[in-house]
Chains A and B, each alone.
Chain A
Amino acid sequence: MKNPKFDEVIVERGSESSPIYRNLRQTLAHLPFTIVDNLAPDRRPISGGDRFGAAKRTLYLARHKGDFLKKCPGSEGQVCCNYFVINFASNCPMDCSYCYLQEYLADNSALKVFSNVGDLIAETERTLARHRGVFFRIGTGEITDSLALEPYTGMVRELIPYFAGQPNVLLELKTKSDCVETLLDLDPKGRVVVGWSMNPQRVIDLDEHDTASLGERLNAARLCQEAGYRLGFHFDPMIEYPGWESDYESMLEQIFATIDWRKLSWLSLGVLRQTPGLKRTMRERYPRSSLLTGEQVLCPDGKLRYFQPLRVEMYRRMVRWIRRAAPTVKIYLCMESREVWKQVFGFAPSCEKELGNQMAPEIRQLIHA
C-alpha cells in the first residue's frame, strides 16, 4: 500500500506517556510534533475545498474520553451478526471512494489515534470478566482501518497479548492494508482473526485509493496464516459492473490457491451501499466514479443498494464459487434483510445471537465446556 503522507503530528498534552506516543516519535521522527492543550477542530482554509481528504495529512494523538467498547450498530431492520467494536482510532489514511466515513465523520474528520490504551484494555477486561459465559466477537475496523496505521502506532501490537489471553473473545482486525509485520512474531493463541476486505484489482485501482493491491493483501494474509492467525475475508462492498463475474471468480481462485480455506474463520458478503447523503459527497469528491451509476434503489433502512434480484444473483454466484473451493466455510451476509438471506441461502437466522453463535464454534465450545 502507499505510505500515508503526513505533514505533522499533533499531540494532546497528557498523551506523551503513552506507548503510542513513543512509537510515533520513533517511526515518524522526520515530522514536526506539536503538543497542544486542547484539540480544536481544524478550520484552516483548504485548497480545493476537500476538507475530508486534507484531514488525512495531519495525525492527531489524543485521549479517548468515551467508551471504547460498543455494540456494532448494524443497520435498521437487517440481520445482525452480534458484533462488538472497539474504536482505537478515528478516520483512515486510505481513501476509498465509497467510504462511509466521508459522511459519518464529515464534521469530525481529523485522523485521530487514541493514546489511552490502558483504559481500552481495562474497560474491555471489565466487560469480558463480567460475562465469561458470553462469547464476544470484537472488531476494530468500524471507523478506521485496523492495521493501516500499525507501522507507526504499534497499537495492535499493544493489544494482541491482552486479547490472546482471554478465553471468551475473538478480536478481528479488518484491513485493506498489508501492514502485518509487527504482528508476525506475536502468538495470537487462536484469539485473533485478521480480516481482509477484498475486491478485484480493477476495483482497487479505480475506487480503493492508497490501499494495498490484491496481491499484497493476499501475501499479507498468507504470512498471518503461517504465523498462527485466523483469517477472515470480507467481500464487501461487492461492486457490480460489466465483467464483474470473471473478476470476482478469478479473485476467489487466487485466494483459495494462496490460503488454506480450512483455517478461515468466516467470509462475509455485502454489496455496495450508501446513504443518499454519502452519494452526494461521492459526487463531489469522485464525480467520475462509475460507482455512482449502479442500479441502486433506496431500501427501507435508508441505504441505496443494487435492486434486490440483482444483488441476490450476485450473492448466489459468489456463494457457488466459494463453495466450489471451500465447501464448509462459514459465509454470512452483512447488512441484509431476512428476505435476502432466504433467497440466497434458503433460510435466515432466527435472531442475531444465532448468527453470532455460529461464528468460531470451536471457541464457543471451550467456553461452555
Chain B
Amino acid sequence: MAESAMRDYANSKGFHRQTLDRWLGWQPADQNALEEIAVGLKVSENHLREMMDWLEDIALRDDSNISAILKRPALCSIRTDPRLGRADKLRRIKEQLRRWRFPRLAALEESIRVKVQTLKLPAEIHLSVPPGLEGGRVHVTLSAGSQVEFEKLTHRLSDAASSGIIAEIFESLSGGTRENEPNPK
C-alpha cells in the first residue's frame, strides 16, 4: 500500500497530523498490515490510536513486529468471519488485541466474569466490576417492579453473598489473600 493511500484515508477521516506521522513512521509491512484493517473496517482515529498503542507495546514486549501480530490466526479468523459485520469485527479485534496487551488483567476479568455467571443470578440483578478493575468495588444493579419482586431479588442477592463466590470475587479484586499484617506503623 502506497503512502499516499494512507494519507488519503487519514485525510478522509480527519486524523491529526501526529497520528498519521506515527503510522508513517512504522516499517512498510507494519503500515500495510494496519492499513488493511483500518480501511476495511473504517476505523476511526481514536480506535486506531488505541490499536497502535497496544500493537507497539505488544511488539516491544514480545520482540515481534506489528505485521506478524496482525497476521496471527486469532485475528485472521475474526477478519474473515462472514457472520460478523464491520462494527463487530472491529470490536472483536480490539478485544483480542487488549487480551494480548493485558494478558493478566484480561485473565482476571474473565475469571471474575465466570464466577459471576456461576452465581446464576436472574436478569434483574446485574453484578459487574469496574473497567480495568480499578477501585476494587463490585457494582450491583437491581431492578424490581413490585415489593414482592424486590424482596425475592434481595433474597437471591443475599444467598449469593453468602455463597463464597462473592468472597472469591473480592479476593480477586484485592490481589489475592492478604498475607502481611495490616498495620503500616
* Known contacts A288-B60, A307-B132; A345/B182 CB under 8 A: yes
The answer to whether B179 touches A320 (Cβ under 8 A) is yes
Q: Is residue A346 within 8 Å, beta carbon to beta carbon, of the partner chain?
A: yes
Please, how many angstroms separate the alpha-carbon atoms of A299 and B132 in the complex? 9
Q: Which residue of A lies closest to B183 (CB)?
A: A345
CB neighbours (8 Å) of B182 from chain A are 345-347
Distance of A268 from chain B, by nearest CB (Å): 10
Closest chain B CB from A144 CB (angstroms) = 28
Whether B181 and A323, one on each chain, are in contact in the complex, defined by CB atoms closer than 8 angstroms, is yes
A308 x B135 contact (CB < 8 A): yes
**A245 contacts partner chain B, Cβ-Cβ < 8 Å:** no
Contact across chains for A358 and B185 when beta carbons are under 8 A apart = yes
**Contact among B61, B175, B178, B179 with A310 in the assembled complex (CB-CB below 8 Å):** B175
Q: Which residues of B contact A340 (CB under 8 A)?
A: 136
Q: Does A330 contact B (CB under 8 A)?
A: yes
Contact of A346 among B136, B173, B178 (CB under 8 A): B178
Is A105 among interface residues, defined by CB-CB distance under 8 A?
Answer: no
The answer to whether B102 and A283 touch across the interface, beta carbons within 8 angstroms, is: no
Contact assessment for B184 and A343 in the assembled complex, using a CB-CB cutoff below 8 Å: no
Q: Is the interface of A mostly helix, strand, loop or mixed?
A: helix
Asked if B180 and A309 make an inter-chain contact with CB atoms under 8 angstroms apart, the answer reads: no
Would you call B61 and A293 a contact (CB within 8 A)? yes
Q: Given the complex of chains A and B, what is the CA–CA distance between A293 and B56 in angstroms?
A: 9
Q: Contact string, B59-95, partner A, CB cutoff 8 A, digits 1/0?
A: 0110000000000000000000000000000000000
Chain B stretch 104-133: residues in CB contact (< 8 A) with chain A: 104-105, 108, 131-133
Given A309-B173, A313-B176, A345-B182, A295:B105 Cβ within 8 A: yes
Whether the pair A310, B104 counts as a contact (CB closer than 8 A) is: yes
- Which residues of the other chain, A, contact B136 by a CB distance below 8 angstroms? 308-309, 312, 339-340, 343
Question: How extensive is the interface on chain B, given as a class?
Answer: 20 to 34
Chain B residues positioned under 8 Å from A295 (CB to CB):
101-105
Bound CA span A332–B185, Å: 9
Contacts A316-B180, A345-B184 given; does A308 touch B61 at CB 8 Å: no
Taking CB atoms, residues of chain A closer than 8 Å to B104 are 295, 307, 310
B45 contacts chain A at the CB level, 8 A cutoff = no
Known: A307-B102, A310-B175, A323-B181. A300 touches B134 (CB 8 A): yes
Asked if B57 is at the interface (CB within 8 A of a chain A CB), the reply is: yes
Chain A residues with CB under 8 A of B180: 316-317, 319-320, 323
CB distance from B128 to the nearest CB of A (A): 15
Query: In the complex where A293-B57, A340-B136 touch, is A316 in contact with B181 (Cβ < 8 A)?
Result: no
Q: Is B172 an interface residue (CB 8 A)?
A: yes
Docked pose: A331 CA to B182 CA in angstroms: 11
Instruction: State whether A330 and B132 are in contact (beta carbons under 8 Å apart), knowing that A292-B60, A320-B180 are contacts in the complex.
Output: no
Q: A323-B181, A343-B174, A347-B182 are in contact. Are A308 and B134 (CB under 8 A)?
A: yes
B30-71 vs A, Cβ < 8 Å mask (1 yes, 0 no): 000000000000000000000000001110110000000000
In the bound complex, residues from chain A placing their C-beta under 8 Å from that of B179 are 316-317, 320
CB proximity to A under 8 Å, residues B129-181:
131-137, 172-176, 178-181
Does residue A127 face the partner (Cβ distance < 8 Å to B)?
no
Q: Does A298 contact B (CB under 8 A)?
A: yes
Known: A292-B60, A309-B108. 10 other contacts (CB 8 A): A287-B60, A295-B102, A295-B103, A298-B134, A308-B134, A308-B174, A312-B136, A317-B179, A330-B184, A344-B184
Could you tell me which B residues sit within 8 Å of A by CB distance?
Answer: 56-58, 60-61, 101-105, 108, 131-137, 172-176, 178-185
Please report A residues at the B interface, Cβ cutoff 8 Å: 283, 287-288, 290, 292-293, 295, 297-300, 307-313, 316-317, 319-320, 323, 328, 330-332, 337, 339-340, 343-347, 358
User: What are 7 A-to-B residue pairs whose CB atoms are below 8 Å?
Assistant: A295-B103, A297-B132, A308-B135, A308-B136, A309-B176, A330-B184, A339-B135
